[in-house]
Amino acid sequence: MILYASAIFLGAFLLFLVQPIIAKQILPWFGGSAAVWATCMVFFQMALLAGYAYADFTTRHLSHRKQVILHLALLAVSLLVLPITPDVSWKPGGEDNPSWRILGLLTLTIGLPYFILSTTSPLLQSWFARSFHHAIPYRLFALSNLASLLALLAYPFLVEPWVTTRMQSIAWSVFYGLFVCLCGYAAIASMRVTGAEASTETAAAAPEAPPKLGTQLIWMTLAATATFLLLAVTTHITQNVASLPFLWILPLSLYLATFILCFDHPRWYRRGVFLVLVAALVPLMAWYSDSLNLKLVIPMYLLGLFVCCMFCHGELAHSKPAPRHLTRYYLMISVGGAVGGLLVGFGAPYLLKGYFELAIGLTACACLLLYRTYKLAWWSLIGAVAVVGATAWGSGKSIQHQFADSRLMMRNFYSVIKVRDNPEPTPFRALVHGGIMHGGQLMDPQYRLHPSSYFGVTSGYGRMFASLPEAPRNVGIIGLGAGSVIAYGRKGDVFRFYEINPQVVDVARREFTFMNDTPAKIEVVLGDGRLSLEREPDQQFDVLAMDAFSGDSIPMHLLTREAMQIYLRHLKPGGVIIFQATNRFINIAPIVASLANEFGLASVLVSDSPESEAGNDYWTSSTDQVIVTANKALLQSEKIRSVATAITIPAGFRVWTDDFNNLVRVLK
């Protein structure tokens, strides 16, 4: 018993620990987008499906001896791919489909070890049931999920803040080698069941028909709905705060906790209690799914996700079959997880124009509630019908809100882009990512080149440009947006934009006139800004601006020591780097200030709060921007010195690197 439990525990721990480890390594290569995690989750779900299918097939179609020999061989071969470090040749060029590249990278880097780990829980439970046929193996599934949860919780608090990414990969590889030895020993031990014992087990087992197709489809649907909601909630959180493992782990931990509770003991899933909670929370979540009050909405989403997953996984546990059919049961759960992952990670970015998956998932959960309660009392049926109606209505209003006042809305791997016209008090056209405005343009012909939004004349950008010498300026900007910063372009200037999303470039050219109206020369480089700068010869920029965001999410790979080294290589002596630091949840200023100190540069914070944001004639917004430079004379210019404030760096604050960042320390 201890042998099987130990192997299952270690395997599940490594299975979920590798997810943030590998995702964090490749996140900077693909623009730091929240979609990177969704795509990684698709791979993890598909690999899990493959592992469960392997366990089901070999259990039903191979003799136990042949199954063990095959598995021992795969265990040995999987050691050949260690250590798990992605090859830099997988870095994108800028125009290919990131989803397929991510899947290929993960397959070659961790594919076989992850597949082996995925087989462990169902396979060893099957061996356990064969060796100890009077015992119930399903609690080992709860143990497996407990190990997974501990791995996820350990990562942001015990691993990420203290261990570099490379050392994480090496340490994981060492423990994987230990797992191979433990699992191999368990496989050999399982062969010690004598033929007499196996015959006794077969004779004693009560005949039971295999689960019907309809039952298997219900298992799949319950698992798919839980996974769909997990990814939909995760996408909403990360695209509005930051795409970091720390924030991916919160919803995934709740998801796993529900598996642990539901499969540990029936007492944890009180059907009547959770049916009521689902009925209350699902419509509420649907009605607030378009709210940007994340301090209210995120706790509600996380609570709602927990309740919905308790419902889905509780109903799964309630309908589990006899142990002889457990591999098929786990296979259908895995199929459901893969379907849910594919719909969100692959389907939504290319089939939906907006972030509609949360509304769709909530409506599906309400329909499942109706299906699971229609045989109960009549008042339960009426209540469930009302829940479906309220959820569908709220979801429809949420989707309608995303379309409201939009001239255009489109979506791809990177984000949802909307163009919205605001006719009063002055005609203004805005570019919106998620629910956050990312620049815009005054549409009155006489004001089209007037600085607006986050780039007003009193912002850090405005004061910096006003303080630069009159000579032609070479300006680099990571993040195009609407092209609002072009308002500062003059004849002889060169504005070179680095934009990862081709749809943004298309929208900036079609819906805004900055690129056509400016006297400056405009250049656009398609691809991740940092990777593009890494490949280019020195550009000798007078100004290099960091303005790349998706929703309110921050690409953290633009705020590291390694990134700063790249920026400085492209900067003229005495040049300026300016960082957009406007964010509702993360205090970016100390991150930038610590980087400036690391390279012997000065940094100041310029905060701009116009008296009337949306109501003023020029549509300027409150902003925080950090100016970094070795040119102290620039910082002493009247326009900057009069408003600039020093940045306080917390005691013991570590400079962020590609191997290290600590989001907890900079949360507002």
To the nearest 10°, report the CA torsion of 364, 142, 16, 184. Answer: -130
32: left (phi over 0), alpha (psi -120 to 50) or beta: left
SS3 content of the chain, % helix, strand, coil (to 5): 60, 10, 25
Residue 203: the pLDDT is: 40
Q: Could you say which residues of the chain have pLDDT below 50?
A: 194-206, 243, 551, 612-616
C-alpha span between 204 and 440 (Å, rounded): 74
* Mean of pLDDT over the chain: 85
What is the DSSP pairing of strand 521-526 with strand 416-422?
A: unpaired
Cα 423 to Cα 430, 443, 630: the distances in Å are 11, 9, 43
Distances (CA, A) of 55 to 63, 211, 392, 437, 454: 13, 17, 39, 49, 55
Q: Where are the beta strands (DSSP E) in 315-405?
A: none
| Single-letter residue type at 178 | L
pLDDT score of 204: 44
Query: Residue 570: what pLDDT?
Result: 97
Whole-number pLDDT of residue 201? 43
Please check whether residue 430 is in contact with residue 521, taking contact to mean a CB–CB distance below 8 angstroms: no
CB neighbour burial string for 455-476, b if at least 16 within 10 angstroms, e if fewer: bbbbbbbbbbbebbeeeebbbb
Sign of CA dihedral 115, 118, 120, 123: negative
Three-state DSSP class for residue 593: helix
- The pLDDT score that the predictor gives to residue 35 is 67
- 402 within 8 A of 290, measured Cβ to Cβ: yes
Judge whether 234 and 38 are in contact, CB under 8 Å: yes
Angstrom distance (rounded) from CA 128 to CA 136: 9
Residue type for 633, please?
A
pLDDT of 615 reads 43
Residue with tokens 């902003």: 623
